Structure 1
Amino acid sequence: MSEPDTTTAPARPSSSLWRTVAEVERYVAADGWGAPVRLFALVRTADALRRDPALADRLPEHVVAEARADAGHLTSVEQDGLPDVADLDELLGQLAWPPGVDGAALVVERVLVPPDAEAEVRAVTAPDDEEARAAALAAHPLAEDVRIAVGVLRDGSHECAVRSRSKDSDGEVATGADLVPGLVGALQATLQD
């Protein structure tokens, strides 16, 4: 497991989760487009430091200082070795987090098209040929590649960030709690006891 860079995110002072989702999205964005699904465990840094004081030696000094100043500060830990599954629903269906994990974050790339374009493609592809439909949607002139980052906590709080390839800069990332409610719900379900 590796930890993403924890450089300062644009300020939204009321939400450590928002800051963490922005950090995770930028961390994945640094690798460019075409990346596989990336998954992160989220832990409250102050609690992790209490459980394992030696962790302070492995984290950057500014992270330790932020955690001491903000009990809600989160550290993201990338999960390596994800199972090879057919789709995201299958992956999320296999996930369960231990009690020491306070939340989870997921970063995934998707192709978005307007609803009219999706209906147009459905009309010309066989209903059972998902592969052909996906290829036709990706090739549609109105298709837009996006990177979606979602973070959820056990208390139900959640945040999202969406970056489009056509506006690929940190200043153009759309943020909000309810940008992708279906993905938020699916990721939140992985935290259920």
Structure 2
Amino acid sequence: MNAQRPRDPTPAGRALSRAVVGIERRAAARGWDAPVGVFALVRTAAALAQDPDLAGLLDTAAIEEARADPCALTAIEQEGLPPAADLGDLLGRLTWPPAVDGAAVSVERIMVGPASEAGAAAIEDPGERIAFIRTRPDRQDVRLVAGVLRSGEAWCAVRARSHDSDAAVIQGEAVVPGLVEALAATLA
């Protein structure tokens, strides 16, 4: 079997990976059991050119990065999100204006092994299903951060509560493909 070599990231893809990792590290600094976070991603240099007063809201490092890299992104956390039954419902309600270059989301989930997943699937009541999953010995709490750009690039970062360190964060283009796809649909 031939393994495909990962494609070299574009400048925009590299900027996206930096933005996603930055969002994940800010979420890690806040701690676990946090609500869903939704972020607009904008090219910092373009935003500064359109509104120079924005410089007063950014730290020096972000301004310097924008000067060095026109693809550098600023993540703007969204407040006042519409009420939603679940993450899929929330993402289905979001749309972004053309000035937004991409979007990202940070969400915590519980993952279980195949046997526990099969047991949970047999439980019809959602509350009972969640209670069942929370008591499983193979339970793994994770934070998923995914980001996508209108140009098609995607990046994900995943941190497990049981391995809660920056060095243990798993990263890649399609680590959480369903979340990437749902997030990309908000930009269509």
What's the TM-score once normalised by structure 1's chain length?
0.88
The answer for unaligned runs of 5 or more in structure 1 is: 1-11
- Correspondence for 2:44: 45
Aligned residue for 1:42, secondary structure, equals: strand
In the alignment, is residue 170 of structure 1 matched against residue 169 of structure 2? no
Deviation at 1:29, TM superposition (A): 1.3
Query: Residues 13, 152 of structure 1: CA spacing in aligned structure 2 closer, same or farther, 3 A cutoff?
Result: closer
TM-score (structure 2 length as normaliser): 0.91
Structure 2 unaligned regions, length at least 5? 1-8
Per mean C-alpha deviation after superposition, the further-off stretch among 24-33 and 99-108 is: 24-33
2:87 is aligned with 1:88? yes
For residues 26-175 of structure 1, what are the structure 2 equivalents within 5 Å? 26-123=25-122, 125=123, 127=124, 129-175=125-171
Alignment size in residue pairs: 178
* Offset from partner CA, 1:129-153 (integer Å, 9 cap, x none): 1221121012111010000000000
- Aligned equivalent of 1:188, options 179, 184, 188: 184
Distance 1:90 1:58 in 2: 32
How far did residue 84 of structure 1 move? 2.3
For residues 139 and 68 of structure 1, what CA distance do their matches in structure 2 show? 50
Task: Assess, with a 3 A threshold, how the Cα gap between structure 1 residues 190 and 53 changes in structure 2: closer, same or farther.
Answer: same
Change in CA separation of 1:54 and 1:121 when aligned onto 2, cut-off 3 Å: closer
Cα distance, 1:60 vs. partner? 1.2
Q: Percent identity?
A: 53
Root-mean-square deviation (CA), in Å?
A: 1.4
For the residue of structure 2 that corresponds to 1:104, the secondary structure is strand
Task: Give the match's secondary structure for 1:178.
Answer: coil
Where 2:31 maps in the other structure, the secondary structure is coil
Q: For 1:117-174, what per-residue CA distance to the aligned partner results, in whole angstroms no more than 9, with x for missing partners?
A: 2113334x2x3x1221121012111010000000000011000000000001111111
**Runs ≥4 in structure 1, deviation > 6 angstroms?**
none
